[in-house]
Each structure stands twice: as C-alpha cells, then as structure tokens.
Amino acid sequence: MKAWQLMLRLIRYRPAIYGFGVLIWSIFFISPLLPGLINRAIFDQLSGAAPAVFGIWTLLALLITTEISRRLLTQLGTAMDISVQYNIAGLLRKNMLKRILAQPGAQALYTSSSAAINNFRDDVEEILTFSIWLLDVFGNVLFSLIALGILLQINQQVTLVILVPLLIVVSAFTVANQRIQRYRQASRAATSKVSDFLGEMFGATQAIKVANAETAVIGHFQQLNDQRRQFMVKDRAFTALLSSVYANTISLGTGMILLLAGEAMRTGNFSVGDFSLFVYYFSMVTRLPSLIGLLLTHYKQAGVSFQRMQQLLKDAAPSALVEHGSITPDQQLDFSPAKALPALQRLDISNLSYCYPNSQAGIKAIDFRLERGQFVVVTGKVGSGKTTVLRALLGLVPAHGTILWNNQPIEQPAEQLIPPNCAYTAQVPRLLSSSLHDNLSLGLNLSANELQQAIETSVLAPDLQHMPAGLATELGSRGVRLSGGQLQRAALARMLVRSSELMIVDDCSSALDVTTEQQLWQGLRQHPTTWLVVSHRCAVLQLADWVIVMDAGQIAAQGPLNDLLETSPAMRELWQAEPSNQKLLLGVDAHV
C-alpha cells in the first residue's frame, strides 16, 4: 500500500474528529479574507476612490471581532489537533504492539528492542507531523483559491504572477524527491545502530571490563555517533536547503508583484485599496508554495516511517498497521488461559517440526509421549535441537505438528501451555530489575508458605540467609547482583510458585556445583507433577524415567537410561563425555 492509502485509512479511523478539525482550521485560515476586504474599504474611503458604505468605526469594530474569533478558533483547533494525534498515535502503536504480542514468544521482535522503540516513538511522530500539515495546507489552499478569485477580478496580470513561485517549488521537489527519501532512511538507520549498541554495551558491561576493552568499545561508539551525525546533518541541511528555496521564490514573486502593481497605479487602473488588498493577501497566498513543498517533503518522510513500521510487522499485510479497533480497552485485560485444561494424564507429541528462517537448523518429525508423573529428559550434543523441541512444544516458534493433551488437540500452545497448565524455565532465565520477592511473584498474591516451599525446593534458602534484606533484597539490573547459579535457582523458584500440570525446564543447572545440583534435582523430582527437562548432566539423567536422545534435529533414540547406555552409541558418547567426578559423587561407575 502507498503512504497516502495508509494515511487515508488513519483519517477514516476517526472521521468525525478529523473532519471537525478540517472545518475549524479551514474557517481559521479563510477568516483573513474579511480583514483584507475591510482594509481595502478603509483605504478606498480615505482616498476617495469609493463611496462610504460603512463608517470607519464600524469597519474597525469588524476587524477587532474577526481577530477575537481567530483566537477562539486557534484554541478549538489545537484541541482538535490533540485529539487527532492521540487517536492516530494510539492506533499505530496498538497495532504494532498487537502484532508483536501475536508472534511466537521466541520471535516476537524481528529487530532490536531499541529499533522497535524508534518505531514506536520517532516514526509515529513523523506520521503525526504529516497529519497536522495536511490540515494546515488544506486550509491555506482553500484561502488561496478564494483570494485568487477575488484578486483575478481586480487585476489578472498581477494575480497570475503569484503562480510563478508555485511552479518553482513543484519543480524543486520533483528534482529532490529521491534524495529526500535516501537521506531520511540513512539518518533513521544510523540512529537505530546507535541505540542498538547502547543497549548491547550496557548489557555487556562485565564482559567489556574483564576484557579491558573500554577504549575499543568507546571508540566504536564514537564512530557510530559520527556516522549518525553525518547522516543527520545531511538530512537536516537538505531539508533546510529546500525550505530556503521555497522562501526565496516567495521573495522573488513579491518583488515582481510590487513592480506590476506600481505600474498599474500610475495608469489609474489600481486603487490604493486594491494595492492594500494585494499586499495583504499576497503575504499569505505566497506561503502556499512553501507549505506545499514542506508537505511533500513530510509526505516522503512519512512514507519512510510507514516502511520502517511495516518491517516490525514482518509478514503481516501493510493494512494491519492501520487496522481499525478500540485503543482503550473497555475492561482490564486478562492474560490467564481462557480455560484451564483438565489434569494431565498423557501428552502426545507427533511429527513436531520447525526450521529456522534462512537456515537448515531446526527439528524434524519429533514423536514422543509423556505420562502423568513421569520425569522425561531430552539430551544430546550442542546444537542437536533440544531447546528447539521445547520452544516448538510451547508455541514459542511457529512449528508444525500435533500436540494432544489427554487426546484433545492443543490448537494454540502459546496461549494454552501456560500456568496453571504448563510452567517453563528457559535456558537463559531473565530477571527483572526489582526485588527477589517481586521476581518470584510477578504480581501473584503468594502466601509465606508458598514462597518458603518454592525457595527450599530450589535450594535457594542458604543463599537467602546471606541476602541483606531477605526477599526484599534488590537484585539490580536484570538480577546482576546474583551469581549464575543463584539466578537459575531464582528462576526455578518463580516457576514452582506457579504450580502447573506440566513443568518444562531447559538446562537450568549448568552453573551449579555437583552437590547443589544433585540436591536441587532430587527435590524437584519429588514435586508431584510431570516433568520435561533438557539436560546432559548425570544428576538429571539418573533421575529420568525416560530419556530422549537428540541428534541433528531428530530423535536418535529414546527409552530408559540403562537400556540406552547399552543400545545407543549416541547416549554412550554423551555419558562418557561427562566428568568422572560427577559420576563418582552419584555412585555411578565412571567407566560406564
């Protein structure tokens, strides 16, 4: 869709408000017609070129009334502008957010978070600017058409000179069209790079410091800023150059009109009142070429913004960006499952497949079953597809296949496989920049007993004793004050307080020592629920009722651990690769 088509749909979202705004500003912009005619009448009366129809004081009173009315129209028009901008911005941002939330969780953003923020802020602001310029230019066009009609009746030759600046402006825009787009796209892309790097730099502070890379990082950041500055200067300078061309063409037209008007006054075909009317109208009519030029510039810049926002929508149709709908929910949103599933007795997964875009990596034809109370472990080499299996099952990636919960199909796993049906701890857990209590509860009203039980099961109690404020301890930005093992166990505790029929854990004990890891998994195994766990650790494999071995995106073997150690070369290779000290602590023959 073209930019003008998208803009038209935005206008149609609240046609009454926008239409009322057009009416108010149209009256505001054509209202100067009356003062011009009043000035003409005053000067013609004073010079004796026309008989007096109204007294001087009456005409002055009309001038004052007109000015007061314009002030009131300004206030009303501003109120309409605010309403228009609120509705347009709200619709664009809601539709972008709606699309993001509708995506699988692992691929919600196809760009960086900082680039998305630029879409929500800068690109939306550009659309708002264009929408307001439309109102201004429409009012000025209306005024100019009426004013030109009046001036043509007085003197056609002088009036036609006014059209010369308009032709110059249109020609200048035609020549500069492509460059406007190119400079705006480059400046927005450079801004996104700076924002992206800032986010990465703050998120990798520790890595930068331990590598003694501060100088190199700051140097690269300065380089990105220099590139942004160059592109921004080009964009702003070129826009200023066009504005200068528009303004100078107006000055040129003004000089030509003054010369022609002076000659007409010497021949007696032009009164003092006519001259005052031309001068009064000309100061506003000649603004039109400049306004049209700037409007066309903003139109191209708005087109760039529409394109950038559409990239955030990925494969959705451009019309999804301007889809009409309420921007103020009538009731509080409910993010819990629409319907709690029955108690899990059996989960069947068949032909589960997914391939990452522009890659051969993924999973293919995954089939397995979980029975109630089972502890099932998915294992395999790095890159074998273990994490992808979990993500596909949970609907975090757009996978294909069949998922049956007690023989009932799961149509929307991303919406159905969440607490209280299913709880999940990712391979790299995320904590919020808040207290430990807030990170565990995330808004739930938890009892002290629920918290204590989750903390003990996740083996977080010894660490909690050394925290200065206990559960109220602030964890810092993204939990930076916790060690890797503490962060993993805090994420597990957060999952445990959301007691669910199915617990899914992705290799969430890699940062623990062998003793703590063994204690953790023995506690989790006693939790009365069904488990699906990704791990290659001996402490986890020893507890498994069923082991699924992944290799190159497919299931290489599955069954009890002891059987697989005898029949599966892949399983034996994984088991032998584990450190001997782990097996000895578990009482397992290190040479098995």
Q: Are 486 and 512 in contact (CB under 8 A)?
A: no
- The end-to-end CA distance of the chain, in Å, is 64
User: % helix / strand / coil in the chain, to the nearest 5?
Assistant: 65, 10, 25
Tokens linked to 507 = 């290799």
DSSP letters for 373-388: T-EEEEEESTTSSHHH
Quick one: pLDDT at residue 586?
A: 46
Q: Are 175 and 297 in contact (CB under 8 A)?
A: no
Q: Which residues contact 158 (CB under 8 A, 6 or more apart)?
A: 151, 257, 260, 261, 264, 278
Quick one: pLDDT at residue 404?
A: 95
Q: Which domains does the chain have, with CATH numbers?
A: 3-316 (1.20.1560.10), 346-585 (3.40.50.300)
Measured distance CA(105)–CA(109) in Å, rounded: 9
Q: Which residues contact 295 (CB under 8 A, 6 or more apart)?
A: 130, 133, 134, 137
Tokens linked to 47 = 């010079």
Q: Going residue by residue through the chain (592 aa), what tens digit of pLDDT does each one get?
A: 788 889 999 989 988 988 888 899 888 888 888 888 887 777 777 766 655 556 677 777 877 888 888 888 888 888 888 888 899 999 999 988 888 877 766 566 667 777 788 888 889 998 998 888 888 888 888 988 898 888 888 877 777 776 676 677 667 766 776 777 788 778 878 887 888 788 778 767 767 877 888 888 889 999 999 999 998 898 888 878 877 776 677 677 667 777 777 777 777 677 777 777 877 787 677 677 767 777 887 888 888 889 888 888 877 788 889 989 888 765 555 555 547 889 999 999 999 999 987 788 899 999 999 999 999 999 999 889 999 999 999 988 889 999 999 999 998 888 888 888 999 998 888 888 888 888 888 888 888 888 899 999 888 888 888 888 888 888 877 777 888 888 888 999 999 988 889 999 998 887 788 888 888 888 888 888 999 999 988 888 989 999 999 998 999 999 999 999 999 999 998 888 876 555 544 444 444 4
